[in-house]
Amino acid sequence: MMNFCGLLTEKKEPVPLKSIDAQLEVKDHVATLVSTLNYENKEDKPLEAVFVFPLPGDAAVCHFSAQIGETHIVAEVKEKQQAQEEYDDALSSGQQAFLLEESEQSPDIFSLKVGRLPPGESASIRLEYVTELAVQADDGLRFCLPAVLNPRYQSQGPSVQVTSVPASLVPYSLSFSAQVSSPRPISKIESSCSLEPLQYLNADQTQATIKLGGGHKFDRDIELLIYYKDAHQPSAVVEAGQASAKPGSLMGDPVVMVSLYPEFPQSVMSSLATCGEFVFLMDRSGSMGCSMNNSTPQETRISSARDTLLLLLKSLPMGCYFNIYSFGSSFEHIFPKSVEYSEKTMKEALEEVEKMESNLGGTEILQPLKHIYSQACIPKHPRQLFVFTDGEVGNTKEVTDLVKKNADSHRCFSFGIGEGASSALINGMAKDGGGHAQFITGADRMQPKVMQSLRFALQPAVEDISVSWDLPKGVSATVLSQPITAIFQGQRSLIYAQLTLQSSEEADGTVTVKYSLAGHPSQSQLHFNLKPAEDSGLTVHRLAARTMIRSLESEERTQSEQNDEEMKKRVVELSVQSGVSSFFTAFIAVNKDSGESVEGPLVRRNIPTPFFPTCSASPRRPRSCATQCTHLSSSFHFTGSWLDMPALSAAEPPQPRKDPVLQLVSLQKASGCWMLDANLAAMLGKTSEQVEKAKPPSVAGPGEGYWLWASILALIWLHGFKMDVMEEWELLSMKAASWIKAQNAPHVSECVEAGNTLLGCAVKKEALGI
């Protein structure tokens, strides 16, 4: 009988992976992560350890090496099939070998194989990647180290095998530290994980370190939100080429990374669009019945989604068009096609939203997207698509390709809900759809993040975007990144360009982005020095290479077979030249210096990955789901999982809303006003008699005067008591203020004064926007 020792899986198999140490370095908005995976074989047979794990979908993996005793092996990037054959050949001949490759299904899943680790031997694997940090709607820079890999739903086709266990049973440890530096002071760093206190390294607070608190339970991704003071400062980094690379090649020439933050005129920002077609696509798969987080288990993903749809529908402008789709294994839509927004259609939609449950099975997003895109666009009403999903799908590339194909006809805003949402899917849809991505994790509320994105959607679409360069004689720029397709107020636009320099003299250059905003020509401009920055390594080159590789891979999937091979060849060449992984390449390392071959039959050990089983025993979800989590098999394929199965019993009627803001919002009419009735009075904490008695004498009997009085009371209550969640109700309050101003009533000031007296507030009329 085998003597088990060390860490064990649920199947009582030893786990050779003992620990992961992750060290993050952030310079302004670029992050470099170095992860060290420590292995030890305590068995009496040589092992092959296989670990399938998530990485950020937009990361450029640029280094992979192994340390076995005194031997250090640096992996090479090679064409994928060649790398796989070399790995297999090495194992069959008794050599140690290491293989790192990207999943065929999604660029945010990688497989790491450690082959022929001898009995009693240890090995350290070093993995490095670089990535740009995405700007959130609240101006924070988001870094996420994925630690959770939920089973990806896939209805058909081949799947990647992954071994998973509930987060509480992960048999290895994780340590994480970060060092942050920026030209601007670091105001704060937040996280959904437990962190040690932020340590500033200098007096001007431009450098800081932070560490993950002890005992990380693998129940969530490690997310950092980094906030700089005066973050919206344009910048350019020029990086020297690699001395050993051929001049004229990507790695041999200097590369510049330009970050621009276009600012729109206040006149444009204060006048939000009154037109548009708003299509909301809501995930109703079984996994949406899971709780949003551990601190509020009664709030499920689907219940939060219902509340969010209420806010969205109440905030839409009169005269626009809208529709709501929901999907699982099948899909539904409330209206056959988008309808004009009115009191009648809004009420009809909200009645259907109230019935929404997480009972549609799997996560098949492709078919509803195809149906949406098959609908003719409405003239003079630009389409805005809002996609809500927990991101557990297996056909990520097919979905993002479809969004990109239809990018000219719409903007796509995507929301990743809960731990383990696929960054490749959420970021990919927003990037390819010219929109914005948001992630709702930890204790985040969905509503403020979604309303921030609605603000973006209500901004006028920026058109006729072009980039021009003003460079000294003998200097030219070749843009490497995809053309800019979307610009939002205060959001970063990134441009990579390869520079050809004929002389070493210092000089300055200028890059200008021109565009049309609400029919008016505008531009953003940056002057920068062409002298390469010191000690920047090849980070900018690798990010530029990653950008080109992803662009070529996307093109390859839509090309003819002949062009397909040509595109694949270009990707492989670029990947090998830059040392950055791709779909068509892999990192391969073979230990040829180990002397004697490692004899004996090879035993495969799958390293388990944490997943996030958090179904709660809520009124809308049977209690048996909560207990089922702890009895799952530890082996999964990326196919349908128990999380994506229909609910086990019929849904109970929706519970009454307890959130006072949502109660008030639910009473608002589509036009923006409120009706004076007992429900509103109760919501304000008053009786109908008190509200009636407090109204100014100038307000006439029942009619428009009562509607005006009711609407002003609602606005005073929001501004007086709920400023902490203003992001959630600001748009609908602006709509209410517009309705009030449109009445041209002579007694508004009297109503504001009387309303303040009744509610015990001191809100100024100007603050209400009336």
Separation CA 669–CA 5 (nearest Å): 66
Closest by CA to 261, choosing from 478, 81, 525, 13, is 525
Q: Does residue 271 surpass a pLDDT of 80?
A: no
Residue 628 pLDDT grade (very low, low, confident, very high; cuts 50, 70, 90): very low
Separation CA 586–CA 78 (nearest Å): 6
CA 636 to chain centre: 24
Handedness of CA 721, 722, 726, 728 (dihedral sign): negative
Separation CA 337–CA 324 (nearest Å): 9
The pairing of strands 141-145 and 222-228 is antiparallel
Q: Which helix (H) or strand (E) holds 739?
A: helix 726-742
552-556, 595-599, 687-691: segment of lowest average pLDDT: 595-599
pLDDT at 616: 38
Write a three-state SS string for 168-196.
HHCCCEEEEEEEEECCCCEEEEEECCCEC
Instruction: Indicate the Cα dihedral angle 611, 612, 615, 616, nearest 10°.
Output: 140
| Widest CA span in the chain | 100
Residue 58 pLDDT grade (very low, low, confident, very high; cuts 50, 70, 90): confident
Residue 635 pLDDT grade (very low, low, confident, very high; cuts 50, 70, 90): very low
Q: Which two tokens stand for residue 527?
A: 């002057």
When pLDDT is averaged across residues 192-221 and rounded to a whole number, the result is: 88
pLDDT tens, 423-444?
899 999 999 999 999 998 877 8
Q: Does residue 558 surpass a pLDDT of 90?
A: no
68-77, 266-275, 414-423, 527-536: segment of lowest average pLDDT: 266-275
pLDDT tens, 73-125?
999 999 999 999 999 999 999 999 999 999 887 888 899 999 989 999 999 99
CA 224 to chain centre: 13
Residues 568-572: contacts with CB within 8 Å, 24+ apart?
A: 572/79
Distances (CA, A) of 257 to 45, 480, 492, 552, 606: 50, 10, 12, 19, 40
Q: Does residue 693 surpass a pLDDT of 70?
A: yes
> For residues 256 and 240, is the Cβ–Cβ distance under 8 A?
no
> For residues 183 and 28, is the Cβ–Cβ distance under 8 A?
yes
> For residues 607 and 162, is the Cβ–Cβ distance under 8 A?
no
Report which residue type is found at 134: A
- At residue 497, φ and ψ (nearest 5 deg) are -145, 140
Q: Does residue 642 surpass a pLDDT of 60?
A: no
> For residues 681 and 693, is the Cβ–Cβ distance under 8 A?
no
Mean pLDDT over each residue of the chain, to the nearest integer: 85
pLDDT tens, 657-672?
578 999 999 999 999 9
Distances (CA, A) of 552 to 342, 563, 570, 574, 617: 45, 11, 8, 10, 46
Domain ranges of the chain: 17-231+579-609, 255-262+459-531, 273-458, 660-768
Q: Residue 230, class by beta-carbon neighbours within 10 Å (0-12 exposed, 13-18 middle, 19+ buried)?
A: exposed
Pick the CATH number of 273-458 from 3.40.50.800, 3.40.50.410, 2.60.120.200, 1.10.1200.10: 3.40.50.410
Separation CA 52–CA 112 (nearest Å): 6
Q: Which two tokens stand for residue 755?
A: 């309303």
**Interhelix angle for 301-315 vs 446-458, to 10°?**
30
Q: Which helix (H) or strand (E) holds 734?
A: helix 726-742
Separation CA 309–CA 316 (nearest Å): 11
Separation CA 644–CA 358 (nearest Å): 9
> Does the fold of domain 273-458 match that of domain 17-231+579-609?
no
Separation CA 743–CA 396 (nearest Å): 50
pLDDT at 199: 95
Residue with the bigger pLDDT between 223 and 562: it is: 223
pLDDT at 295: 63
**Fold of domain 255-262+459-531:** Immunoglobulin-like (2.60.40)
CA 233 to chain centre: 23
Closest by CA to 579, choosing from 127, 63, 101, is 63
Question: For the structural domain made of 17-231+579-609, what CATH number should be given?
Answer: 2.60.40
Separation CA 540–CA 546 (nearest Å): 10
Residue 394 pLDDT grade (very low, low, confident, very high; cuts 50, 70, 90): confident
